[in-house]
Structure 1
């Protein structure tokens, strides 16, 4: 089974997957896909994701993974903006956006029957593609921002050495080796999940893919397949930790060696609880869609420096830029700039000016703020767009959220700013808890842990917070709801 991909009860071996990917490349080429062209992928977690990514690389083309949780209009925007040569999607997802698909865009359907070309039949009708590309194929990823339309991060054509450096980076981040057995827990339209799939398969390992995350099913698959490696976002840790103790004790997790977490901040008490349960196997990484992963921290390093996201790996570099535009020394907070030198560069599709705006001295900022200690370990404060300036004082919501999560009755939380006539901005805390926890009790709890000016003026106690599949809270939606319902 080494080199296979497993999804539920379905298994495809390495040779079969490579053959199908080569035939898919031929089919794409026959449909007019060439170097530099885009292929849109509206796919759930399925073999087609791996096959399509391998195929576009053979053609030096770009895969454009689309978040299928988006509304039809959002998907339609991507299909128009990316101008793909081809759209491959699951049949039911395509049915849901029928009116958003451009009339002249060829569509290939995975599963289902009807007027569209069937994916499996299309592949079978073509011989394997003879070429292997020049290493220029990559991805064009639309990331949801806090405002405006999704932005497309597009990798520039890579040299041979840049491609090799990218491969070395993935090997370091995910500790790849031929005998690894990896578990994919998140959606494959997100690069965090896609990276461990591609890296493990590329190194000759076996990959089990969850179609949707379920905490007990995750434990069952780790035991069943002898999983050694995985990648999870912190919100999945919380769901795992909430399992009854008898369920946790039911499964043997001793094969785990290397579990990467990233994508959102992880509360220190959550990470400690996971380390106590799973052992010293949790490795945290930090980067962005634009830069790729730049820092990594081992469990032992994190326990010595709780809250850090690590030091740069390989040719990575991290610097802090202060409000005056100068590079700041250790202990000083500012905008985080970073980069892995020698890997493929990027641009924002159709917006080179935006690309130039995020660069300084060859380093890139993705909007986070933080500081470095004397040994070069990076600590994050918050995103600049989330930072609240109340009465002229900078407040970082992430610090308040970490304090809130120490309350045993708080299951989840989000803190954000809203306009305030007196202070410019005021803090709002949306807390997931039952009705017995009152806003006044929340404020009293916080006053014993953080400075008074950081205690939110408004506290909303409610139900589950809206999160993306990657674990990021949709603060924009919470802010809009609060303002819509705030008293005049």
Structure 2
């Protein structure tokens, strides 16, 4: 057993960092780039598959080493920030690992962003370089320094090695920056340390009995990735796959259930990471009963609540999957996951998000007038802070305010019962209503706007806008004006246009709660 494998233990103790006590593994890795060393363990085994393209673990390692050397030759130095802006591809994965090997900090930008949002992100982070694929590069503002997106294609690791880079050794150093939507509407840059990323990974490996010394080297999972790698869950999937030797099948282009069904059959996919909307659309597709999906054993569902109807349909239409449907709860500021439920727990406690992960502590903050308390989390996985901002939802004792309401049952399972923050979750994407409201008010003729989520069978929620205008607008015209200003998935699909001012509460503010309740009731009556 290698020394790298021996550094992943199960024993947990309390360690104080910056005056805050955290539950941490006694034996743990300290730097993310060390994870890539596990690629040598799997050699020629296929690692990345996209259509006809296949990269082995040897290919990944050699390409990442070559790209890291290229970055250093282009002047990238330890601690420099590099924007990664692109859709799922082998190039995205290689660039991700190359940043760590070069001592740089990858900044995972959202490929759905408009040109305005990309410009805002670049202005806030001031990266030394942007790596963007062809589709995204067209939206990068003039003046930004673009680096090469492509990768080396040499087969095998051979004599290739990582560049000689002087990197800080501490696990508290910044490893990665990833964006999340805040209730203010501006995407915030979440700073995650090496400790945060690795603690999340180690907890996941621990509870699934996949720590490096526990792995059966003859076994291999094939995992289908249909969600974006630039989300926190995608990044964790990449790291886990290198440790355990998984093959990752990357979908091509927009989500297409027919393509996914064919890919599961063709590549003998065993695991699939998806949001509920994707699973529902796959189950609705006529090919679902005609494809051989017997290889599929596990669906990891996240990003939105999992409803009883969906669970029942999975059990009925995908019987090979029914015993193992993992779910959980987390947010980017917490490193992506705080609880997990799997196997019989997910079926027996349908609706819960499972139990806290081994190093995660949970408590609740009471809010007057709300039936349940706000969920507070403390964990070594949580962020160091928001880049460039003094504000933080983490208090001086290390407790992260999530904005979600919940409770623990007598078995220790966490149940999410509501939100005390203003956020829409559409098909797994977080949408801040405030950003849409601001964009609407920038349109001449729009005098007031209020945006909120309304139920949608397929997406979980869709975006509703109630707009006061003194112009002869149609909803289609307003949609067109918003495109290019906000992400495409955030453009409202439901509209109410009116001349009358919006109702206000006793403080004189627009009564969003009353408007939302009225619209939801009307939609329910119409259905």
Q: TM-score, normalised by structure 2?
A: 0.66
**2 CA distance for matches of 1:205 and 1:122?**
21
Deviations 1:30-60 (A, max 9, x none): 2332332211011111111111121122233
Q: Is the 8 A contact 2:82 2:105 kept in 1?
A: yes
The residue number in structure 2 matching 1:197 is 238
Match for residue 154 of structure 1 among 158, 182, 191? 191
Q: Is the 8 A contact 1:215 1:239 kept in 2?
A: yes
The residue number in structure 1 matching 2:274 is 232
Answering whether residue 308 of structure 2 is matched by residue 268 of structure 1, we say: yes
Deviations 1:188-237 (A, max 9, x none): 22222232233113322211111232112212222222222221011111
> What SS does structure 1 have at the residue aligned with 2:182?
coil
The residue number in structure 1 matching 2:93 is 50
**1 CA distance for matches of 2:202 and 2:455?**
41
> What SS does structure 2 have at the residue aligned with 1:155?
strand
The residue number in structure 1 matching 2:295 is 255
Q: Is the 8 A contact 2:201 2:239 kept in 1?
A: no
> What SS does structure 2 have at the residue aligned with 1:48?
helix
Q: What is the number of residues matched between the two proteins? A: 397
Query: 1:335-484 residue pairs with structure 2 within 5 A?
Result: 335-339=374-378, 341-343=379-381, 345-352=383-390, 354-355=391-392, 357-359=393-395, 361-386=397-422, 429=454, 477=492, 481-482=495-496, 484=497
Match for residue 25 of structure 1 among 46, 56, 68? 68
**2 CA distance for matches of 1:426 and 1:63?**
33
How far does residue 294 in structure 1 lie from its aligned partner after superposition?
0.9
Deviations 1:269-293 (A, max 9, x none): 1122113333222100110111121
The residue number in structure 2 matching 1:436 is none
Q: Which has the higher contact order (CA 8 A, sep 6+)?
A: 2
Distance 1:474 1:145, change over 3 A: farther
The residue number in structure 1 matching 2:37 is none
Answering whether residue 262 of structure 2 is matched by residue 223 of structure 1, we say: no
Match for residue 341 of structure 2 among 297, 307, 313? 297
Match for residue 350 of structure 2 among 295, 299, 306? 306
Deviations 1:85-128 (A, max 9, x none): 1111112321233xx24x2x431243xxxxxxxx347999x974
How far does residue 337 in structure 1 lie from its aligned partner after superposition?
1.0
Deviations 1:415-450 (A, max 9, x none): x99x9xxxxx999846679xxxxxxxxxxxxxxxxx
Distance 1:61 1:485, change over 3 A: farther
Q: Is the 8 A contact 1:369 1:381 kept in 2?
A: yes
- Which runs of 5 or more residues in structure 1 are unaligned? 111-118, 388-396, 402-413, 420-424, 434-455, 467-471
**1 CA distance for matches of 2:285 and 2:78?**
48
Distance 1:370 1:261, change over 3 A: same
- Which runs of 5 or more residues in structure 2 are unaligned? 1-43, 438-449, 459-463, 467-474, 480-486, 502-527
Distance 1:476 1:5, change over 3 A: closer
The residue number in structure 2 matching 1:444 is none
The residue number in structure 2 matching 1:284 is 327
**2 CA distance for matches of 1:131 and 1:148?**
41
Q: Is the 8 A contact 2:176 2:193 kept in 1?
A: no
> What SS does structure 1 have at the residue aligned with 2:333?
coil
**2 CA distance for matches of 1:359 and 1:186?**
32
Q: Is the 8 A contact 2:59 2:153 kept in 1?
A: no
**2 CA distance for matches of 1:475 and 1:88?**
25
**1 CA distance for matches of 2:453 and 2:188?**
27
Q: TM-score, normalised by structure 1?
A: 0.71
**2 CA distance for matches of 1:123 and 1:138?**
28
Match for residue 84 of structure 1 among 113, 127, 135? 127
Q: Considering only aligned residues, what root-mean-square deviation do their CA atoms show, in Å?
A: 3.8
The residue number in structure 1 matching 2:162 is 129
